[in-house]
Structure 1
Amino acid sequence: MTPTASPSTRRLQIVRVQDRENLWFLGDLIQPIITTEMTDGRFMMALTHSKAGSEPPLHEHDGEDEIFYILTGTIEFWSGDGHAVLGPGDCILMPKDVPHIFRVSPDAEATWLVMSAPGGLDDFFRAVSVPAGYPGPQQDWQMDEETEARLEAACRQFGITLIGPPGTLPGMADL
């Protein structure tokens, strides 16, 4: 369910937890909160709840900067030639046009806010995701051909370049 606002309250947006959309994106729960539609394309924010060890493929965004604000757990980030381990209360900016990847600690799940400016990342998540059956990471999720095809098509549509599979670090993609 995508929250909408009437014209008289267009500037003020309230999104209650029970109104959030629940999506499984590569096995992780994504809940768009402030959508691209709500901000006329300027910004988006979503809550992510990842399973231990979760990591996307090495990639870069052509159109938006990504900001991660860690709520629980520990996440390791690589961007260009930079590397950092973040925990609750830490924040990182992953600039557009710079290859990056992150990995949730293998010991515990993590939650964080992911934001993008401009918006659009929520539409990318929707293009790849399936509706979540419960509010948590998808148990026993594995990449399959159907999900891989949706991911590749959405990357082309939304200007995200896949550089290498999960586990490939920036600078190692050509090794």
Structure 2
Amino acid sequence: MEPVQSASLTAYKRTTALDSTMFYMGNVMSFLARGEDTGGRFALMEAQAKPGNEPSPHLHEWEHETFYVLEGVMEVYCEDKVMLAHPGEVVFIPQGKPHAFYIRSPHIRILILVQAVGDRAVGLDRYFTQMAEPATSMNLPTEAVTYLMDDPTHATRLGEANGIRFLSPEETAKELPHYPGFGANLEKIGQ
């Protein structure tokens, strides 16, 4: 998808409400700005999640990603860094950098901003909607498919179509040396 000229864009106002929200892999994902709203230049989502709903290690080929923590704590792995982010803190992940995270509190609420790099439009918002279903409430679903339960080929295929590449265990060990592993029992490793 190529970016859209700004002359064809229109102003709007949106909030975290049921009509702009989907259930995504055990998360509640509200779409505040989609790539289609911004000419493909950025997308902004508010996510609510709990431990166990995290994606496996990956990278974004088309966009930078920024997390802004509203509630809770997340532990982000990128390069040789381990960054613990609390409410009011930002974590920036440059385009093409492998990363992963764990939710380190019973619940988290974050803003996720992706910004296009180069001529490609952002793809993460499309990926989320393709992996999601319409939300029936603003509460975390109690029985939802998560990345730990889902067929990884489904996420990999949709990721590739939207500029997201999931890392193999070998790539993860090399690129994220401090990451304890996808699906690790954090209580046993000192949560």
The percent identity for this pair of structures is: 23
Residues 1:153 and 2:157 are matched in the alignment:
yes
Query: What is the CA deviation profile of residues 92-125 of structure 1, one whole-angstrom value per residue up to 9, with x for unaligned ones?
Result: 10111111001111x4100000000013211110
Query: What is the CA deviation profile of residues 40-64 of structure 1, one whole-angstrom value per residue up to 9, with x for unaligned ones?
Result: 0111100000013432101111111
Equivalent in the alignment of 1:110: 108
- Aligned with 1:122: secondary structure? helix
**Preserved CA contact (<8 Å) 2:16 2:46:** no
Residues 1:39 and 2:38 are matched in the alignment:
yes
Q: Which amino acid aligns with 1:150?
A: H
Q: What aligned pairs does 1:65-104 form with structure 2 within 5 A after superposition?
A: 65-104=64-103
Equivalent in the alignment of 2:188: none
CA distance in 2, matches of 1:164, 1:21: 33
CA distance in 1, matches of 2:55, 2:167: 11
Q: Which amino acid aligns with 2:106?
A: A
Equivalent in the alignment of 1:25: 24
Residues 1:134 and 2:137 are matched in the alignment:
yes
CA distance in 1, matches of 2:143, 2:168: 23
- Aligned with 1:78: secondary structure? strand
CA distance in 1, matches of 2:165, 2:81: 19
Which sections of structure 1, spanning at least 5 residues, go unmatched?
1-7
After TM superposition, the score normalised by the length of structure 2 is 0.75
**Preserved CA contact (<8 Å) 1:66 1:93:** yes
**Preserved CA contact (<8 Å) 1:127 1:150:** no
**Preserved CA contact (<8 Å) 2:18 2:135:** no
Query: What is the CA deviation profile of residues 141-167 of structure 1, one whole-angstrom value per residue up to 9, with x for unaligned ones?
Result: 34444x5443122111012111147xx
CA distance in 1, matches of 2:18, 2:26: 21
Which sections of structure 2, spanning at least 5 residues, go unmatched?
1-6, 117-121, 182-191
CA distance in 2, matches of 1:136, 1:27: 10
Tell me the number of residue pairs that the alignment of Structure 1 and Structure 2 aligns.
Answer: 163
Q: Which amino acid aligns with 2:84?
A: V
Larger deviation, residues 40-49 vs 136-145: 136-145
Residues 1:171 and 2:177 are matched in the alignment:
yes
Query: What is the CA deviation profile of residues 6-31 of structure 1, one whole-angstrom value per residue up to 9, with x for unaligned ones?
Result: xx994422113336422122211111
Larger deviation, residues 20-29 vs 39-48: 20-29
